[in-house]
């Protein structure tokens, strides 16, 4: 199994439900994956209303053999089970897997990603080389849609993980990149219902 301690640090209920982990992958695997992202990965520039970033889907590209387990049935089932237990929900089999890259000058403004009937939970795995606050690119959680109403700012430390529930309250953003390249592996889950206790 490629995943390690994706939710070992903290579980939080407000302003929306999320968990934090400190070691998503084994160190060698995370370093090799980061090297691929920095090198030959098939990035495409995407421009939208509230962001501009580079991205691609791991489900629609031929992956190097050493990274094929990122989208294996076993890995996706394990991660889905982890999300279900963390949030007390039942998810559909569907999982989308994408990678995002932000470069100098790019930012993601406040949004919540909530679309009824679509993605309900997300797991972010950060893969970044020697990141500090001076690089920018902080993941920011908000109490409301007001950009000044900050609840928490998280540095995208290498191999760390954030899982959160998507709702009308899941307002978040990524601050402007000042230096470096910020990489995030994104697992999107769908169709949850609250589990019966």
Interval 99-145: pLDDT, tens: 999 999 999 999 999 999 999 999 999 999 999 999 999 999 999 99
- pTM greater than 0.75 (yes/no): yes
Extended beta strands in the chain, E state: 3-5, 10-12, 18-21, 23-25, 44-47, 52-57, 89-90, 95-102, 108-111, 119-127, 139-142, 150-154, 161-165, 172-174, 182-190, 193-194
36's tokens:
């691929």
Closest CA to 21 of 193, 185, 175: 185
**Mean local confidence (pLDDT), 167-181:** 97
| Residue 154 pLDDT | 97
pLDDT in tens, 8-36: 899 999 999 999 999 999 999 999 999 99
The average confidence (pLDDT) of the chain is 95
Between CA 18 and CA 162 the distance in angstroms is: 7
* Of residues 3, 15, 49, the one with CA closest to residue 145: 15
Q: Which stretch of 1-5, 44-48, 78-82, 103-107 has the lowest confidence by average pLDDT?
A: 1-5
């Amino acid at each position: 199994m490629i995943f390690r301690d994706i939710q070992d640090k903290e579980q939080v209920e407000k302003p929306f439900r999320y968990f934090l982990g400190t070691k998503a992958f084994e160190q060698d695997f995370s370093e090799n994956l980061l090297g691929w992202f920095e090198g030959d990965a098939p990035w495409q520039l995407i421009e939208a209303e509230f962001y501009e970033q580079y991205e691609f889907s791991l489900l629609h590209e031929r992956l190097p053999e050493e990274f094929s387990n990122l989208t294996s049935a076993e890995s996706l089932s394990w991660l889905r089970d982890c999300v279900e237990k963390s949030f007390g929900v039942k998810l559909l089999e569907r999982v989308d897997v994408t990678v995002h890259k932000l470069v100098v000058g790019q930012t993601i403004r406040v949004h919540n990603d909530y679309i009824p009937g679509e993605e309900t939970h997300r797991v972010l795995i950060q893969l970044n080389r020697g990141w500090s606050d001076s690089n920018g690119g902080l993941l920011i959680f908000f109490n409301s849609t007001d950009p000044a109403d900050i609840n928490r700012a998280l540095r995208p430390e290498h191999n760390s993980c954030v899982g959160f529930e998507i709702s009308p309250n899941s307002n978040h953003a990524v601050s402007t990149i000042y230096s470096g390249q910020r990489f995030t592996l994104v697992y999107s889950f769908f169709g949850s219902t609250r589990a019966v206790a």
